[in-house]
Amino acid sequence: MALEGEYLSMPVHIDAIDREHFEFFSYCGRHELRAQQCVSCHLKRFPPTTACPFCSHPESTWERLSGCGAVYSYGEVHHAIQQIFRAHTPYMLLLVELDEQRNEPEEFDGLRVQGNLATADAELAPSDLVAQVGIGTRVKVLFKTIGTGLAIPLWAVDAEAEQPDKPWRYPIE
Amino acid sequence: MNQELNASSSKHLRGKYAIVGVGETEYTRGSGCTTRTLGTRAVRAAIEDAGLTTSDVDGMLSYSYNDSTPSPIIAGDLGIRLDFHMDVYGGGSSIEALVGIAMGVIEAGMCNTVVIYRAMNGFSQVRIGGTGRGGRSALSGSSLFTRGIGLSSAGQMFCQSFMRHMYDYGTTPEQVAHVKVIHSEHAANNPKAYYKQRTTVEDVLSSRMIVKPLHLLDCCVETDNGTAIVVTRVDRANDCRHTPAVIQSVVGRCIKPRGDMHYQSGPISTVAGHYAKDILWPNAGVGPKDIQVTGSYDAFTFTTLLQLEDYGFCKKGEGGDYVSSGVMRLGGERPNNTSGGHLCEGYTHGVNMVIENVRQLRHDVDDSCAVGPDGKRQHTFEYGEGGCRQVKDVELTANLGWGTPGIGSAMVMARGG
Ligand SMILES: [Zn+2]
């Protein structure tokens, strides 16, 4: 059994023996962002792992997340390495800090997710949108379906959230 | 005095092992030969530099991203029968770690003298900066968070840590560009360097953007090369040709919490050196203030900066001031990467910075100063363009190796007696 799909002309294949990713992306297929939560210490973690990085317990449950967070850091790719991304430059590599579990278990820790900035209809963001986003921008998850029961998370500017006056951006445009 | 920093207490093989030979091939973009040839030539050069013969070598270590030739082949070509060898996976931060492994296997009686090499056609065959370019295989689970979002090369992996440092501490692009500027000044005094021309802050900032905050000139120069060093016990080192560079302490591939998912943990502008320093300095019996020359890995301008902070050469967050103040310049208080490093001399996954510090400790770097009747260069200590690059009276150096923001290695070396 496997999840099969295609994204930006790249084939996607997630085998069921990769249980953690199979389950994570199956939830994405239902347009739900979930994180593993340890049954012992109750901390959530990201990305999917085979045991708890805080207490090593192997068992966890999948807890639904709000999908809301802020850009913690970013990179902006102007020279794409992968051929398929050349048509999409500049594109943003966002590190999104989710609202859940901020500064836990230690100060400066958090649930952070790697992902691309997208438009509201789940396309990679054009350059004028990229130029408006920086550290502090409030973003919200959205899903792009790429196969049967399979979707991937992308991040869009959260239209309903209160945004910072000016998110922090690299000083040279 | 803190017992941990008491240099007279012998611990962890401090002062017992040395690098006695160094060798490299020319830094090119188009070697016109195989990594087998590059490795063979570099290993042979290092053995010869040590004043040893191939029959003195019985151990070999190498590292690669499966882009090289393993040691049984290199040793076989040179007629060396090995009692120990190992070829490990990895790039940056490997060389210091392998020095520690070499010391361990010699101490265990497994062999006596180990050559460590890295041979790569890093420009003409496998470009590290292009990692992921040819990735045509299906995206599976975890790769949906990397290749699936256009995140595959080193710059793409590290850029968020660099960007956050600017946000956290107000580090400016101009400050960071000084790393390239200073290393280019050093390279101008290094006849071996691939890029010998001096660079300005303006040159760096006007070069094209690769992945913000990295301009083209914030990135190192991919080259083809073989590099090698010879490690043996200090009592054998004294029979070798040159003054030995004596290992005072090593840290090997020390990792931040959560390793490759380090960006979940702590401030992401803090790197592995934050943890490695607590092994490096106590084991060496010295601190950053005692170090006269640093070799802080410069895959990117930022990697040099972040490591110097976390190893304690300046306060956390003050790296921008440190790298732009002139401290790191030849003639400054603590020059960094006096060969020009990865940004200018050539990209070796860390070996050329170790080789350079070995030569600094011999007081015989290979600059353009005239060679005297004793066969040694008569260093002028004039650091103008094309001039000397020997730092005066060097006794202690530090190498700070970078694998990722989450993985680092380090080594302190002293001039042998
Ligand atoms: Zn737990």
DSSP state string for B145-214:
GTGGGT--SHHHHHHHHHHHHHHHH---HHHHHHHHHHHHHHHTT-TT-S--S---HHHHHHSPEEEETE
Over chain B, what is the mean pLDDT? 95
Nearest chain A Cα to B146, which residue?
Answer: A114
**Which chain A residues contact residue B149 at CB under 8 A?**
93, 114-116
| Pick from B131-145, B204-218, B278-292, B377-391: least confident | B131-145
Q: State whether ipTM is beyond 0.95.
A: yes
Residue A104 has pLDDT above 90, yes or no: yes
Question: Ligand 1 centroid vs A59 CA: distance in angstroms?
Answer: 8
* Whole-number Å distance between alpha carbons of B140 and A84: 17
B1 band by pLDDT with thresholds 50, 70 and 90: very low
- Does the annotation mark B297 as catalytic? yes
Question: Considering CB atoms only, which of A7, A49, A80 is closest to B148?
Answer: A7
- Residue A50's domain comprises 2-157
CB B340 within 8 A of CB B21: no
Residue B81 has pLDDT above 50, yes or no: yes
Pairing between β-strand B84-89 and β-strand B59-64 as defined by DSSP bridges:
parallel
B4 band by pLDDT with thresholds 50, 70 and 90: low
Element (H, E) at B110: none
Indicate if the alpha-carbon torsion angle B283, B284, B288, B290 is positive or negative.
positive
Q: Specify if A170 maps to a domain.
A: no
Pairing between β-strand B59-64 and β-strand B113-121 as defined by DSSP bridges:
parallel
Chain segment B253-273, per-residue pLDDT in tens = 999 999 888 899 889 999 999
Establish, for the pair of chains A and B, how many residue pairs have beta carbons separated by less than 8 Å.
153
Chain segment B66-78, per-residue pLDDT in tens = 999 999 999 999 9
Beta-carbon contacts of residue B126 (< 8 Å; ≥ 6 apart): B65, B67, B120
Question: Considering CB atoms only, which of A7, A20, A81 is closest to B130?
Answer: A81
Residue B63 has pLDDT above 50, yes or no: yes
Residue B144 DSSP SS3: helix
Which tokens go with A28?
A: 């994405």
Chain segment A49-70, per-residue pLDDT in tens = 999 999 999 999 999 999 999 9
Which tokens go with A173?
A: 């445009």
Which tokens go with B84?
A: 């120990």
User: Active-site residue among B195, B275, B347, B383?
Assistant: B347
Instruction: Answer yes or no: do B144 and A74 touch at CB < 8 A.
Output: no
Distance of CA B105 to the CA centre of its chain: 22
Residue B215 has pLDDT above 90, yes or no: yes
Ordered by start, the domain boundaries in chain B are 10-127+223-237
**Where do we find the tokens 């996607």?**
A12
DSSP B260-277: GGGGGSS-TT--THHHHH
Please tell me what DSSP assigns to residue B9: S
Of residues B141 and B329, the one with the higher pLDDT is: B329
Chain segment B114-150, per-residue pLDDT in tens = 999 999 999 999 887 776 666 678 899 899 999 999 9
Q: Specify if A101 maps to a domain.
A: yes
Residue B6 has pLDDT above 70, yes or no: no
Q: Specify if A12 maps to a domain.
A: yes
Element (H, E) at B355: helix B351-362
* Whole-number Å distance between alpha carbons of B274 and B335: 21
Whether the bond into A105 is cis, omega within 30 of 0: yes
**Which chain B residues contact residue A76 at CB under 8 A?**
159, 209, 211-212
Q: Does domain B10-127+223-237 have CATH number 3.40.47.10?
A: yes
Residue B312's alpha-carbon distances to A127, A163, B265, B305, B348, in angstroms, are 39, 37, 20, 11, 25
Which tokens go with B173?
A: 């692009």
Distance of CA B108 to the CA centre of its chain: 26
Element (H, E) at B389: none
Domain count for chain A: 1
* Whole-number Å distance between alpha carbons of A170 and A114: 19
- Which residue type occupies A20? E
Question: Ligand 1 centroid vs A39 CA: distance in angstroms?
Answer: 7
Instruction: For residues B339-345, give the mean pLDDT.
Output: 98
What pLDDT is attached to residue B2?
A: 47
Beta-carbon contacts of residue B220 (< 8 Å; ≥ 6 apart): B298, B299, B300, B341, B342, B343, B347
CB B401 within 8 A of CB B95: yes
Three-class secondary structure assignment of chain A: CEEEEEECCEEEEEECCCHHHHHHHHHHHCCCCEEEEECCCCCEECCCCCCCCCCCCCCEEEEECCCEEEEEEEEEECCCCCHHHHHHCCEEEEEEEECCCCCCCCCCCCCEEEEEEECCCCCECCHHHHCCCCECCEEEEEEEEEECCEEEEEEEECCCCCCCCCCECCCCC
Residue B416 has pLDDT above 70, yes or no: yes
- Does the annotation mark B263 as catalytic? no
Question: Considering CB atoms only, which of A49, A77, A152 is closest to B144?
Answer: A152
Whether B143 contacts chain A with CB within 8 A = no
Nearest chain B Cα to A155, which residue?
Answer: B149
Nearest chain A Cα to B263, which residue?
Answer: A112
User: Burial of A128 by CB count in 10 Å (0-12 exposed, 13-18 middle, 19+ buried)?
Assistant: exposed
**Which chain A residues contact residue B147 at CB under 8 A?**
10, 82
Beta-carbon contacts of residue B380 (< 8 Å; ≥ 6 apart): B369, B387, B388
What pLDDT is attached to residue A82?
A: 93
Over chain A, what is the mean pLDDT? 97
User: Burial of B325 by CB count in 10 Å (0-12 exposed, 13-18 middle, 19+ buried)?
Assistant: middle
Q: Ramachandran region of residue B32, left (φ > 0), alpha (ψ -120 to 50) or beta?
A: left
CB B68 within 8 A of CB B119: yes
Instruction: For residues A12-18, give the mean pLDDT.
Output: 97
| Pick from B30-39, B98-107, B137-146, B391-400: least confident | B137-146
Q: Specify if A130 maps to a domain.
A: yes
User: Burial of B359 by CB count in 10 Å (0-12 exposed, 13-18 middle, 19+ buried)?
Assistant: buried
**Which chain A residues contact residue B156 at CB under 8 A?**
75, 77, 81, 93
Strands lying side by side in the sheet with A60-64: A44-45, A34-38, A60-64
Residue B96 has pLDDT above 70, yes or no: yes
Whether B166 contacts chain A with CB within 8 A = yes
Residue A117's alpha-carbon distances to A77, A156, B215, in angstroms, are 12, 6, 21
Question: Considering CB atoms only, which of B142, B151, B172 is closest to A93?
Answer: B151
Please name the residue ranges forming H helices in B193-340: 201-206, 234-237, 273-284, 301-310, 319-324
Q: How far is B211 from chain A (nearest CA, A)?
A: 4
